[in-house]
Amino acid sequence: MTFKHGWTGDIHPKLTLGQKPLTVIAGPCMFESRELGFEVATRLKTLCEELGFNYIFKSSYDKANRTSGNTARGPGLEKGLGWLADIQNSFQIPVLTDVHTPEQAREAASVVDIVQVPAFLCDQKNLLKACALSGKTIQIKKGQHASPEQLIACADYIAAEGNTKILLCERGSSFGYNNLVVDYRNLVLMRRSGYATVFDGTHAAQLPGAGAGQSSGLRDMVPSLCAAAVAVGIDALFMEVHTNPAKALSDASTQVDFTTAESILRRIKSLTL
Amino acid sequence: MSTTTSPALLVGSCFVDASQAQLHKKIPATLRAPLHGSNSWRVGIPLPEQLFMERRGWVQPVCLTVTTPEQIKNDSASYDRLFIPGEFCRQGDVLSAAAESGKTILLERGAFLAPSDIVRAVEKMGEARQRVVLVEAGSSFGYSDRVLDPRALEVMMRIGCPMALNLNALTSAIGAAYEHRPKWLSDSDFDIAFVRTALAFNIEHLILPTQRELSEEAVDLWLSARKENL
């Protein structure tokens, strides 16, 4: 199996996307501490190995677009990339993080296996170009405001810069104020485009800004959203997992705990056989 | 444009063309001219610097569209105003850098953001909120379309900042072609309705369409209503 422009899905010596088993991209929303990252990576790597999924660790060193300016943002670029490198080396797994400027893209690409373009910035050509020129695999989140065609055009823009290692990620579309819906037709269109297709099950459950100055969410919907995406057909499932979501410093309403993560993975296991 | 000067100000477009110079000569205006539009599908066709400098002579002051803190630090001194596109309205570093620049800031509400949540972005500006003009550019309404929600105007006006209405965003096709998009959406037929809305809400500034001229009827409506303020 190859993706558009002949990309084989090679992300890491031990991981090729698109081949069974399904790939799971998961980790804490914010890289709150090195210990949190290691605990989540340990538990999820073990769980994915047991259930037969590929595993990629994700976390953010800087939540640069928080709803409110009075909230934590993370450890910052230097420390965060150091922790991501530690996890990458200790567990021999690929790691993903998001970038917000061309400068960050260049720096993050020196460490991570996948650079992620945030949804709000999915159209920003300077950022896309910097990611493309990094040579790393790129995940583009579909903006809540963007059509699937718009996202595919962004991927084409990156490919035209010579980097064809591209993942398209659906995370829900604006549906009035403070609400998102997942349009599952998008997964069909994205896959039909030939690019690797990812579904973000936890951000899709967000109620942006609905928590009086912070995003709220419908955590109990995450398992069903994920199951439906796997049923429709995706190449990877993305979700945010925390040791204690209620105490998480970001996205506390949508991150899932280990018990829920295990339940989700066991449920979708039956769908991927 | 200080936030206390003429409320009749029109704000020029991203890619100013020669025909708009005539309009700018009629009325106080700000030229909004980045050397390229970072989220435009025409990126790679920057306004040539020579042309930009020529147009700068037509229209003062000049507004720079900013998308990174580095850009603000390096370039803002040469411009009079800063415009933060809606996609960046929650980017803390961009907002902080703009606040520190000392310039007047046009802060656009993202089409994905609830109107009540733009106050969080204003709060991120700290004391600089006194220099903020809030720009309304519509709300996401399905794919490749926006709606102008009068409730959004009401909510944003309660924040207390001067307001601008972005006719460019409200009447332009968004992003790549969407095959299911009705042909009648987002065209100049709605210029008059939007200008009337701006006047009804006493909105101080307009941002002009990029790819076309605002209709003469819409211009005259705006000018005659604002005449006493010029």
Q: How confident is the model over B156-175, as pLDDT tens digits? A: 999 999 999 998 888 877 66
> Which residues have a Cβ under 8 Å from the Cβ of A220 and sit 6 or more positions away?
none
pLDDT digits (tens, 9 = 90+) for B185-229: 556 788 899 999 999 999 988 887 766 777 888 888 888 887 655
Q: How far, in whole angstroms, is CA A148 from its chain's centroid?
A: 17
* Cα(A160)–Cα(A265) distance, integer angstroms: 36
**How do strand A180-181 and strand A173-174 relate by DSSP bridges?**
antiparallel
Of B38, B123, B175, the CB nearest to A147: B175
Instruction: Give the chain A residue nearest B117 (alpha carbons).
Output: A209
Nearest to B91 among A64, A123, A126 (CB): A64
Query: What's the rounded mean pLDDT across residues B22-32?
Result: 56
**Both tokens assigned to A260:** 């829920």
- How far CA A168 is from CA of A13, A152, A156, A263, in Å, comes to 21, 8, 11, 25
Substitution target in A177, A178, A183, A216 with the highest count of B β-carbons within 10 Å is A177
The DSSP element (H or E) to which A25 belongs, if any, is: strand A23-27
The stretch B11-37 carries a mean pLDDT of: 51
Alpha-carbon gap, residue A30 to A125, rounded angstroms: 25
The residue with greater pLDDT, B13 or A262, is A262
CA dist., res. A199 & res. A188, Å (int): 11
Interface of A with B (CB under 8 A): 64-70, 73, 100-103, 120-121, 123-126, 143-150, 152-153, 173-174, 177-178, 208-210, 213
Residues from chain A that touch B68, judged by Cβ atoms under 8 A, are 101-103, 126
Q: What does the block give as tokens for B65?
A: 């569209």
Q: Do A120 and B111 touch (CB under 8 A)?
A: no
Look at residue B46 and tell me if it is in a domain: yes
Q: Best interface-test mutation with A: which of B35, B38, B95 has the largest number of A CBs within 10 A? A: B38
What percent of chain A is modeled with pLDDT above 70?
Answer: 98
In sequence order, the β-bridge partners of residue B197 are none
Residues in A touching B39 (Cβ below 8 Å): 123-125
CA distance A252 to A232: 28
Of B31 and B15, the one with more pLDDT = B31
Task: For residue B66, give every residue at least 6 positions away whose Cβ sits within 8 Å of its Cβ, in sequence order, or none.
Answer: B72, B75, B76, B82, B83, B84, B88, B94, B97, B98
Q: What is the pLDDT of residue B205?
A: 87
**What is the DSSP code string of B9-42?**
-EE--SS--HHHHHHHHHS-EEEE--SS-TT-TT
The answer for residues whose C-beta is within 8 angstroms of residue B59's C-beta and 6 or more apart is B12, B16, B21, B24, B29, B30, B31
Residue B2 lies in a domain: no
3-state SS, residue A125: helix
Whether residue B177 lies within 8 A of chain A, CB to CB, comes out as yes
In contact, A202 and A255? CB cutoff 8 Å: yes
For A2, B15, B196, the CA distances from A127, given in Å and listed in that order, are: 26, 21, 37
Per-residue pLDDT tens digits for A137-175? 999 999 999 999 999 999 999 999 999 999 999 999 999
B91 in contact with A at a CB cutoff of 8 Å? yes
Give domain status of residue B4, yes or no. Answer: no
pLDDT, mean over chain B: 77
Nearest to B79 by CA among B106, B60, B93, B97: B60
Stated pTM of the model? 0.87
Distance from CA of A178 to the nearest CA of B (A): 6
Across the interface, of B91, B115, B140, the residue whose CB is closest to A144 is B140
Per mean pLDDT, which of B53-62, B163-172, B176-185 is the most reliable?
A: B163-172
> Cα(B91)–Cα(B87) distance, rounded to whole angstroms?
8
A68, A102, A121 ranked by CB distance to B87: nearest: A121
Pair B92, B115: CB distance under 8 Å? no
Three-state DSSP class for residue B110: coil
Residue B3 is assigned to a structural domain of this protein: no
What CATH number does residue B145 fall under?
3.20.20.70
* Tens digits of residue pLDDT in B83-94: 999 999 999 999
So what's the pLDDT on residue B76? 83
Count of structural domains within chain B: 1
- Cα–Cα dist A163/A212, whole Å: 41
How far is it, in rounded angstroms, from Cα A93 to Cα A86?
A: 10
Residue B138 domain boundaries: 10-173+185-229
Question: In Å, how far is B217's CA from the nearest CA of chain A?
Answer: 31
Spans of chain A below 50 pLDDT: none
pLDDT mean over B54-67: 70
Gap from B145 CA to chain A (nearest CA, Å):
9
CATH topology of domain A4-272: TIM Barrel (3.20.20)
Question: Which parts of chain B fold into alpha helices (H)?
Answer: 18-26, 49-58, 69-75, 92-101, 118-124, 150-157, 167-170, 191-200, 216-226
On whether residue B211 sits in a domain, the answer given is yes
pLDDT of residue B2: 39
Q: Single out the residue of A258, A260, A159 nearest to residue A205, CA to CA.
A: A260
The answer to whether residue B45 neighbours chain A at the CB level (below 8 Å) is no
